[in-house]
A and B are shown apart, each in its own frame.
Chain A
Amino acid sequence: MVENRPFRDFMAYLTLVVGVIVVAFPVYLAIMASTFDAATIINGNMPLIPGDQAAENYSRTLFYGGKAAREPVMGMMINSMIMAMGIALGKILISILSAYAVVYFKFPFRKTAFWVIFITLMLPVEVRIYPTYKIVADLGLLDTYTGLVLPLIASATGTLLFRQFFMTIPDELLEASKIDGAGAFRFFKDTLLPLSMTTIAALFVIQFIYGWNQYLWPLLITTKSSMQTIVIGIKKMITTTDALTEWQIAMTTAVLAMVPPVLVVIFMQRLFVKGLVETEK
C-alpha cells in the first residue's frame, strides 16, 4: 500500500482478529472438551487449557461402544468415508461424462437434455425425498452403501461446471485430435481429462464435504447402527433419553468428524494452487 494509515490498518486487523476468535472459539472449546472426563464438563467449570483425558477419550470413542450401547466411532467414520467418497467420485464421473456428451456431441434434443439437467438444480434432495426413498426401498437398498450413495450422485452443479469449462477449450484442439487419429474416447482420455484436473479437484472438495455432512438422507434410509454415519452418530449421542449425555465422547466425535474434510481441503488446496499456476490460456 502506498498510503500509510496506521489507525485504519489497526482497525482492519482488529476486525479480522475478532472475527477469527468468534469463529474459532467453539471449535477450540470442542477440542478442549475432548480432553476432560464427563464430570469436569458437566459441573460447568471446564478449564480452557487441555486436560489429561485425551488418550482415554479418543481410544474409547474410536474403538469401544459406550454405556448407551453406541457403535464405535471408527465404524461410523468408515461409513461416512465410503459415502462421501462414493458421492464425490460418482458425481464427478457422472457429471464429466454428461457434460462431455452435451458439449461435444450433436444429438436430437441436446438442448432439451441440458435444460432438463439444469432444471434439477432447483430441486434439492429434500424436495424429492419421498419418491427417492420409495424407489430405494423398493429396490431393497435400505441399509446399504449403494442406497446411501446412488441417489445423491446425480449432479446438475457438476455438469454445469464441466460444461462451462469444456466450452472454454478451443475447438481446434478437438480438430487437431481428429486429424491426429484420436476418436471420441481417446480425445476425452488424452486431452479433456488431463485439462480438467483442476476442475475435478475443485468439485471433489465441494462434493466430499457435501457428502460427509449429509444428515437427512442417511437418517432416513439407515436403521442398522452398523450403517450409521458420523453425523448421525453425533446427533444420537447428544439426544440420549435414558442416560446422561457423555459430552466428552460427543465432543471427541465432533473433533474426529472434522478431521477428514479438513485433510481433504488441505491436500486438495495444494493441487488447486498447482493447477491454477500451471493453467495458461
Chain B
Amino acid sequence: MAGVTLDTVRKIYAGNVEAVKGVSLDVEDGSFCVLVGPSGCGKSTLLRMIAGLETISGGDIRIGDRVVNQVEPADRDIAMVFQNYALYPHMSVYDNMAYGLRNRKTPKDEIEKRVKEAARILAIEPFLDRKPRALSGGQRQRVAMGRAIVRKPQVFLFDEPLSNLDAKLRVQMRVEIKRLQKALGVTSIYVTHDQVEAMTLSDKLVVMSGGQIEQVGSPAEVYRRPETRFVATFIGSPPMNILPGKVEGPGRVSVGGQTIAVTDMREGLAPGSAIEVGLRPEDVQAGGAAGSSSLGMDVDFVEELGATQLFHGKVAGTDFVVQASTGQIPAETRKLTLSIDPANVHLFDPQTTKRLGRF
C-alpha cells in the first residue's frame, strides 16, 4: 500500500480554462481523504487526474514513490468507484468483478477466490449470477465496490459514489464504506459535494473552491477553526452566520452597535476597521438575558426539525439563523437575546476572506 502525493498539480483545459490551479496535497498511507467543495471546484478533475483519466497540465502526482504522470490508468494500481457505478450491463455480477483480473491474466482459481471473498464481505453472494439490471441501487453500489476490492489496489478512488442513492441508503452505505476502508486499510480518496458525508468519512478533509485548496485538516479542525469565510459557510449545517462588524479593541468587536467579546482575535487590528463576524447557529445561546456579550435578534419565522428548531430572522439588519432545542423557546417569540461565548466567534477579513485569528 502507498500514500498519494500531489505537487502543485494543474489542469488547464483547451481555451485556457484552469480547472485545477496548483494543488499540493499529501494523503498518508492508509488514510481516508475526502475532497469536498461545490460543483465546478475541480475536485472531480483532480480525482480523475489521480486515476489517469485526465492528463496533467503541470506538477507531479506520486503514488507511493512513483511519479505516475505518464502512467496508464490500468498500471497505476488504483481502483475507482464511479457515481453511476459504470457496471458492464451485459456481464453478470461475477464477471463484472472478475473482468479487471482476467485482463491482468490472474490465474482462474485466484480470481474465483478473490471474487468470492469480496462478495462475502459485501454480502452480495446470492447475486453473483445476476446481471446488474436485476439489482437495486444499493446492490449495484456494492458490486462497484467489489470490483474495486478484488483488485487489491494501493489506492481507492471514489467519485461521488453515494449521490445516486436515496437518503436512507446513503447513510447506510456511508457507514459501510467507512467500515470497509478501516478493515482493508487501503488509502482512499473520496470526492463529494455533501459536507455531512465529508465530515463523517474523512480522516483528512480537503475543502476546495475555484480549483484551489481552501483548507486541509481533520474534520474537527476544519469545523472548529475554518481558515476562510468560504470554509466557514460551506462546512456545517445550517451554515455559519456572517455579520458585518467593526473592531473595537483587543478581544472586542461590535455588530450594529452591540459589543461582543472574542477569544480568538488577531492582535494589532486597527479599531474602527471593518471585520466579518462568524457565528454558528448551534454555538449561539438563545433566550438569555442581555449581558456583556450579547446580540438582539428579530425573529421572522421558525423551522421545526424535530429535536431542534431553527429561528430565522435578522441581527443588525443581516439574515441570521439560530438553532435551539425544541421547547426551549416559545415558537411565537419575536425578539430574542443571543448570548455569545467569546470562544465561538470567528473573525474574517472582509477583503481577503481569511481568518483573523491568533497565529
Of B75-83, B165-173, B190-198, the one touching chain A: B75-83
**Contacts A170-B84, A175-B53, A280-B133 given; does A182 touch B103 at CB 8 Å:** yes
Contacts of B67 in A (CB 8 A): none
A170, A181, A194, A278: which contacts B86 (Cβ < 8 A)?
A: A170
Contact present for A181 and B90 (CB under 8 Å): no
Contacts of A186 in B (CB 8 A): 103
Q: How far is the CA of A191 from the CA of B132 in the complex (A)?
A: 14
**Contacts A195-B89, A195-B90, A280-B89 given; does A180 touch B72 at CB 8 Å:** no
Enumerate 28 A-B pairs (CB-CB under 8 Å) in ascending A order: A170-B84, A172-B82, A172-B83, A172-B84, A173-B88, A175-B53, A175-B73, A175-B82, A175-B86, A176-B80, A176-B82, A176-B147, A178-B52, A178-B53, A178-B73, A179-B51, A179-B53, A179-B80, A180-B74, A180-B99, A180-B100, A180-B147, A181-B74, A181-B100, A182-B74, A182-B99, A190-B99, A191-B90
Contact present for A176 and B103 (CB under 8 Å): no
Contact present for B89 and A179 (CB under 8 Å): no
Binding site for B on A (CB under 8 A): 170, 172-173, 175-176, 178-182, 186, 190-191, 194-195, 278, 280
Contacts of B133 in A (CB 8 A): 278, 280
Decide if B104 is an interface residue (CB 8 Å cutoff): yes
Chain B residue, CB-CB nearest to A191: B88
Contacts of A178 in B (CB 8 A): 52-53, 72-74
Chain B residue, CB-CB nearest to A194: B90
Chain A residue, CB-CB nearest to B90: A194
Binding site for A on B (CB under 8 A): 51-53, 72-74, 78-80, 82-84, 86-90, 99-100, 103-104, 133, 147
Q: How far is the CA of A176 from the CA of B140 in the complex (A)?
A: 14
In the A-B complex, list the 5 residue pairs whose CB atoms are closest, starting with the nearest: A180-B100, A172-B86, A181-B74, A181-B103, A176-B86
Number of A-B contacts (CB under 8 A): 57
Q: How far is the CA of A194 from the CA of B131 in the complex (A)?
A: 14
A170, A175, A195: which contacts B80 (Cβ < 8 A)?
A: A175
Q: How far is the CA of A96 from the CA of B133 in the complex (A)?
A: 25
Interface of A is mostly: helix
Contacts of B82 in A (CB 8 A): 172, 175-176
Give min CB distance, A198 to chain B, whole Å.
11
Q: How far is the CA of A213 from the CA of B119 in the complex (A)?
A: 54
Contacts of A179 in B (CB 8 A): 51-53, 73-74, 78-80, 100
Q: How far is the CA of A175 from the CA of B84 in the complex (A)?
A: 12
Besides A180-B74, A194-B90, 17 more A-B contacts (Cβ < 8 Å) are A170-B84, A172-B82, A172-B84, A173-B86, A175-B73, A176-B82, A176-B86, A176-B87, A178-B52, A178-B72, A179-B53, A179-B78, A179-B80, A180-B99, A180-B103, A181-B74, A191-B90
Contacts of A172 in B (CB 8 A): 82-84, 86
Give min CB distance, A276 to chain B, whole Å.
13
Q: How far is the CA of A181 from the CA of B77 in the complex (A)?
A: 10
Q: How far is the CA of A176 from the CA of B103 in the complex (A)?
A: 13
Contacts of A181 in B (CB 8 A): 74, 100, 103-104
Contacts of B74 in A (CB 8 A): 178-182
Give min CB distance, A279 to chain B, whole Å.
8
Give min CB distance, B127 to chain A, whole Å.
16
Give min CB distance, B49 to chain A, whole Å.
13
Q: How far is the CA of A182 from the CA of B73 in the complex (A)?
A: 10
Contacts of A182 in B (CB 8 A): 74, 99, 103
Give min CB distance, B15 to chain A, whole Å.
16
Chain A residue, CB-CB nearest to B53: A175
Q: How far is the CA of A244 from the CA of B264 in the complex (A)?
A: 112
Contacts of A175 in B (CB 8 A): 51, 53, 73, 80, 82, 86
Counting chain B CB atoms within 10 Å of each CB, the highest count among A175, A176, A186, A194 belongs to A176
Give min CB distance, B321 to chain A, whole Å.
38
Contacts of A278 in B (CB 8 A): 133
Q: How far is the CA of A226 from the CA of B221 in the complex (A)?
A: 87
Contacts of A176 in B (CB 8 A): 80, 82, 86-88, 147
Q: How far is the CA of A179 from the CA of B83 in the complex (A)?
A: 15
Contacts of A194 in B (CB 8 A): 90
Contacts of B104 in A (CB 8 A): 181
Contacts of A190 in B (CB 8 A): 88, 99
Give min CB distance, B17 to chain A, whole Å.
18
Counting chain B CB atoms within 10 Å of each CB, the highest count among A178, A179, A186, A191 belongs to A179
Counting chain A CB atoms within 10 Å of each CB, the highest count among B74, B104, B133 belongs to B74
Q: How far is the CA of A278 from the CA of B73 in the complex (A)?
A: 31
Contacts of A280 in B (CB 8 A): 89, 133
Q: How far is the CA of A44 from the CA of B111 in the complex (A)?
A: 75
Give min CB distance, A187 to chain B, whole Å.
10
Q: How far is the CA of A178 from the CA of B78 in the complex (A)?
A: 11
Give min CB distance, A189 to chain B, whole Å.
12
Give min CB distance, B118 to chain A, whole Å.
14
Counting chain A CB atoms within 10 Å of each CB, the highest count among B73, B79, B86, B103 belongs to B86
Give min CB distance, B189 to chain A, whole Å.
14
Q: How far is the CA of A21 from the CA of B90 in the complex (A)?
A: 43
Give min CB distance, A58 to chain B, whole Å.
43
Chain B residue, CB-CB nearest to A280: B133
Q: How far is the CA of A8 from the CA of B99 in the complex (A)?
A: 57
Chain B residue, CB-CB nearest to A281: B89
Chain A residue, CB-CB nearest to B78: A179
Q: How far is the CA of A217 from the CA of B125 in the complex (A)?
A: 58
Contacts of B84 in A (CB 8 A): 170, 172
Q: How far is the CA of A195 from the CA of B86 in the complex (A)?
A: 14
Q: How far is the CA of A179 from the CA of B86 in the complex (A)?
A: 11
Q: How far is the CA of A170 from the CA of B90 in the complex (A)?
A: 14
